[in-house]
Structure 1
């Protein structure tokens, strides 16, 4: 039989765990990461901390990573070691997941497909899996700990680059929705790409072109701030449990729900 002191210690430990401030971990590429894609750019993840209250935001995004390389480098596993029940993990990949495995392999390209397809890398000889597979395995690591997973579609390249607005949702949007459906009730999807594209369309070519100082992918700090706002709009419109920590209401964020 446990002593009164042992019971009190156990109860205190449980209460501390229940009352602890949850953490939102960010897992993604340079469009999310600290420092963005180089000089004059910044990842949108650095601005999400200003959009939440009552939850810590820890940016674990790394430039140049895909779902495959983040998995192979053990970064998803390291995240799973950190999370506890009630935490949240945001996955946003896609910019480095495309390409071809038929002739070259940069250790980032996923096998093409929306499910359990596999390829053999001509460079490393490894079995390469799909974007869906890598994120599904990573998501299961998190949900097994009682953490919530949010999967977001990738941000668009400059949709005004040609002088005329153009945006088509990439295949990774559908892939992300597939992952969320498979993960179940602890997972939610945010179509970040569409919300960013819609916001950029409303801002116009001149403003948006200024957001891309070096290339058509990586935004300036001002652009990253807009991209972060678009994520919050999608989050609030989508009804994810994470939206409960937002400092804003749906109507207070620019744009419309889609």
Structure 2
């Protein structure tokens, strides 16, 4: 009787550990299918480096604002369980637009900063900053017991001399969000830049068959490896879930 009871308890514990999941929230650079035409997002290649499952909830064309306005963060917040990880990475679609494209954020990193933008039909819309949208999402996820990780956007195939060009303002904005909410930040932009710089411009350009933003599957795998390297060099609890293949990803800590 006691042996059976103990086995039942062990089974429950094991099932609980298997249920822990990594969720991804981002844009086409992370999403399945990437930007189309033979491209793919790096989120599709992350699971091979972890011991727990990955659910890729990234959607092409989304920004911090549109992912919020469409209720996608609310869906994640309602889905996650305590102990689940959520990797959040936006920036490529968050820049200013005229007329408003439904994706731009107010410029700046103030939580209370707003801007009034004009839609194509003349409608005036009040929008918030990148940091506002992500801070709200991170804090709501934390309230559910989830473990958010804020990641900076990936670099495009844009070079300055012999190196990938410096990142846009959304890279430090992402770091600001992590700092304000007390969660782990992964400098994905610069870990990918490190990988691309070591490969060189010619080899890197071969990873971008569509445009300067969206990677081929091979390129997406390099980008996924760079994220894993960032995990291993940081303090996230997720690094304990990196498997032997993940432990062997190239390059070192920044």
Pair 24,217 (structure 1): closer, same or farther in 2 beyond 3 Å: same
2: CA distance, partners of 1:189 / 1:97: 19
2: CA distance, partners of 1:199 / 1:87: 28
1: CA distance, partners of 2:247 / 2:55: 26
Aligned position for 1:140: 139
Aligned position for 1:196: 192
Aligned position for 2:6: none
Point out where structure 1 has 5 or more consecutive residues left out of the alignment: 1-10
1: CA distance, partners of 2:100 / 2:223: 30
* Candidates 107, 112, 127, aligned match of 1:112: 107
2: CA distance, partners of 1:20 / 1:229: 23
State the TM-score, normalized to the length of structure 2.
0.89
CA-based RMSD of the aligned residues comes to 2.1
After TM superposition, what 4+ stretches of structure 1 lie above 6 angstroms from structure 2? 11-14
- Equivalences, count: 242
Residue 152 (1) aligns with residue 147 (2):
no
1: CA distance, partners of 2:244 / 2:10: 33
Aligned position for 2:31: 33
Instruction: For residue 144 of structure 1, report the CA deviation from its aligned partner.
Output: 0.4
1: CA distance, partners of 2:161 / 2:179: 37
Q: Deviations over 1:130-174 (max 9, x none)?
A: 0000000011111000000001110001034x7743320321121
2: CA distance, partners of 1:17 / 1:229: 28
State the TM-score, normalized to the length of structure 1.
0.88
Pair 38,16 (structure 1): closer, same or farther in 2 beyond 3 Å: same
* Candidates 81, 85, 89, aligned match of 1:84: 81
2:187–2:230 CA contact under 8 A, matched in 1 = yes
